[in-house]
Structures are given as structure tokens and as C-alpha cells.
Amino acid sequence: MQKTLLSLAVLKVNWDYLKKDHLENFVPFIATLIRKKDYQSIDVSKMCIDFKTEFGLVIPYHPMITILDRSKKRGIIKKSHNQYIPVMDRIIEIEFSRISEEQQKKHEKIVRLFIDFAKANYNVELPKETAESAFISFLGEHDLEIMFAAESKTILPSVISSRGNKFLVKRFIKHICENDPETFKYIENIVIGHMLSCALLYDKFDRFKGKLKGLDIYLDTGFIFNFLGDSGVPKKSACIE
């Protein structure tokens, strides 16, 4: 849970620094992951798993390919014989270890403040993991609805948090907003980072399109075989998505 909140804050920092679109914000994440895992080549399915493990964010197969294609444009990977190959000299310039360390300190501070707030004001002792899960759960329910494509379209991991803990988060955020603008800025960064990340999965484009009544859609044989699993699990998963 700590990795999730930290990654959302880093997304906002990337947005402020890079000043481009939401895809660009993920390029430093790819560079950092490649450097840490020392990939010789990139398996997309494995990278999706490693991305969740390392950063606490759930990126499906096809959005990950979109991010990798943007990373290719930025020169941190290249494509050779239908494989993504890291370009290590370029990766070293882009990865965000220093930024992550700075956000880590802010994260530790806000979690500690939240735990202390719950204890001092409501006599509730929250373990660190519970406090972080409560933040994520509250974020998933109270972000701007337009930033969600659907209930399931979010890169946040699934967490369970009681109504009582969500109430504590709400009261804590109100308290911080009124009394500690500097710390509240970090909370804003997390929220904006979540909005930026959810834009990656936004698919509610029907309101911008004409009526599709009477439209026939044909799927080629290759897609059907992939969907049935004849070409392996990764391609089947991609078709299901």
C-alpha cells in the first residue's frame, strides 16, 4: 500500500516536471523498473506483474504496451526482432530514484501524522498498513467521478477498509487542510496522481461517437484463436482485456 501512495505522488511530480501528457508520466517508471530488474529484454506480461510489485499500480497488458511505445519514442528502449530491448545509457538519465526518496520522506510523515491523529482524537490505534489501505480505499471512492472509466477501471490495487477507517481519513484530511497547508499539498499530489493514472484506462468514449445501431463487427481468425488460448496465456489475457 505504501508503494501505491508513493507512486501516485511521483506521478504528480513527473507531471509538473515533464509538462506533457499522462503517458509521459509513466516513462520514468519504466526506466526505473528496467534499471532495478536489469532486463535484457522486456516481456510485457512479466513487466505488468513487476510493475505492480514494485510500484503498487495495476497496469493491464495493452496500456502497458502503449507506455512502452512511448518509452521507445523517448529512446529508453528499442525494438529489435519484435522484442523491446533496454537502452541503458538513456535509462540512467531518466529513472527517478532521487525523486522517489524525496516523496518517501513526505509519505512517511503523512502516515505518521494520520496514525497520531486517529489515536489522539478518536483513541483508535491504526497499524501502518491499515492506515495506508484506508487512504487508498477513500481515494478510490471519493475522487472525481469523471476520472473513472467505470467502477473497475482504476490502477489502484483492491483493498478492504472499514467505514470507520474511511471516516478517520476524511476527518484527518479536513484537519490537515485547515491547519497544515504544506502537508495538504502532498495529499493533493496523491489525488492528482490518481486522476492522471486513471486517464490511462479511460474508455468511456461513447458520448463522443455516433450511434452504432445496425453495425456489424467482424473478428479475424487470429483474434479468435488468441482469445481461446491457442497462442498462449499472455495473448489470451490481452484479448480478454
Express each pLDDT in 37-71 by its tens digit.
999 999 999 999 999 998 888 888 988 999 999 99
Query: Domain range for residue 54?
Result: 2-94
Residue 204 falls within a domain, yes or no?
Answer: no
> Among the three residues 65, 94, 123, which one is the final residue of a domain in this structure?
94
| Together in a domain, 150 and 185 | yes
- Return the residue matching grid coordinates 501528457: 21
| Together in a domain, 69 and 102 | no
CATH number of the domain residue 14 falls in: 1.10.10
Residue of 66, 59, 58, 57 whose CA lies nearest to 84: 66
Its pTM stands at 0.64
| Together in a domain, 59 and 130 | no
Three cell numbers written together for 6: 508513493
The structural domain count of the chain equals 3
Give the C-alpha distances (Å, rounded to integers) separating 80 from 36, 151, 173, 233.
22, 38, 49, 23
| Together in a domain, 165 and 217 | no
Question: Within its chain, how far is the Cα of 53 from the centroid?
Answer: 12
- Report the alpha-carbon distance of residue 139 to residue 56 in Å, rounded: 15
Using the predicted structure, report yes or no on whether residue 84 has a pLDDT greater than 90: yes
pLDDT tens digits for 168-225? 888 888 888 888 888 888 888 887 777 777 766 654 444 444 555 666 777 777 777 7
> Among the three residues 60, 94, 128, which one is the final residue of a domain in this structure?
94
| Together in a domain, 37 and 57 | yes
Residue 16 falls within a domain, yes or no?
Answer: yes
Residue 236 falls within a domain, yes or no?
Answer: yes
